Structure 1
Amino acid sequence: MADFVANGIEFVTTVPCKQLGGVIDAVEKEPSIYHIPSNKEDEGMGLCAGAFMGGKRPAIIMQNTAIGVTVNTLVTLTQFYRMPLPMLISYRGELKEPVACQVEMAVHTKALLNQLNIPTYHFHKPGDEEELDAILKYTFMCNKPVAILTDATFWGGY
């Protein structure tokens, strides 16, 4: 949470995710961040756009299984209007995944993000989070969304 605060992120929306539950709890407890839970990822991106237009630095915390439903929002809202949006994403379906149906979206996640020209960073092992500060600086410097994929290996399993 320290990197979010240090980079002036004041608005975070989250979609429920067991893997990111500890991060969501930390967001909720951080007094300098206004936290609004979302029902769906594309809805959350709309909330982030409103926060950005209102002068706040936003972020979304979500699961990769909904990347498909966010394509239109990412392209016609976030990218078209050059909005920075850090997306902290649990990368379900990778190694150590216990739920078979999660694997199908994992196969497409990086390809979809690549097709949308969204810079993507994959946190796979402890220590990878040391890049978070630079990634956040990057997204706000260039006004682009970025995806930070965090898999089960990074979080120590399920």
Structure 2
Amino acid sequence: MADIETAVVALRRSRQRRALARLAERHGEHTGLPDAVFELLDAVEAAEGQGSAMTVTEVAALLGVDQPRSSRLASQALQAGLLRREADQHDGRRSLLTLTPEGRDVLTRIRTFRREVIAEATAGWTAEDRAALAHLLTRFVRDFSAITPH
């Protein structure tokens, strides 16, 4: 348990240091937008994948930020042409966030970059080790999410 806890803390620290974003900058993959904008895009894409759309308030809750911060992130993504607002067909008072084709392209590039970094970090691993990590990490995230507040 101690080794797992240490690894989880190290991953969190790496994220807080924005290690992946700095690596992206060095590789010419930086877009000039804050990492949190891409977290927002990931959330919108996940909702769309489940057949729904999200409001700024729902994104705020999912990302664990306040509504003004979520609004600023959405505004940055809207200004960059990565998102658009659409009226909710069931409730005209709600404004839903949807990805634009440019937003999908950016997410594809980011996902490719992330996968390249993971491939580089595990380059010396066997296919079996990579498969074991994928299986166990996915299981851990699912089980951890089940016992933690959303």
- TM-score over 0.5 for the pair: no
RCO higher in structure (CA 8 A, sep ≥6)? 1
TM-score (norm 2): 0.26
Higher Rg of the two aligned structures: 2
Determine which structure has the larger helix proportion and give its number. Answer: 2
TM-score, normalisation: structure 1: 0.25
